[in-house]
Amino acid sequence: MTDLPKITPVENGPLIVENPPRLTGPDGAEIETRPKFGLSRD
């Protein structure tokens, strides 16, 4: 069974993404991701 994606906000910090789905850019090319990463809210 695949783990579901999870997004956790950090107070005054980034959004932590775990088990992201497949991400693609506007040109349809796949964006490589890690199993866990942070997204800036700036």
Query: What are φ and ψ of residue 16, in 5° steps?
Result: -95, 125
Full-prediction pTM beyond 0.85? Answer: no
Residue 18 has a CB neighbour count (10 Å cut-off) of 14
Domain ranges of the chain: 6-39
User: What is the spatial distance between Cα 36 and Cα 23, in angstroms, rounded to a whole number?
Assistant: 14
The pair of structure tokens assigned to 17 is 């993404």
User: What is the spatial distance between Cα 32 and Cα 3, in angstroms, rounded to a whole number?
Assistant: 18
pLDDT in the model for residue 2: 66
CA atoms within 13 A of residue 17's CA, in its CB half-sphere: 12
pLDDT one-digit tens code per residue, 2-42: 689 999 999 999 999 999 999 999 999 999 999 999 999 88
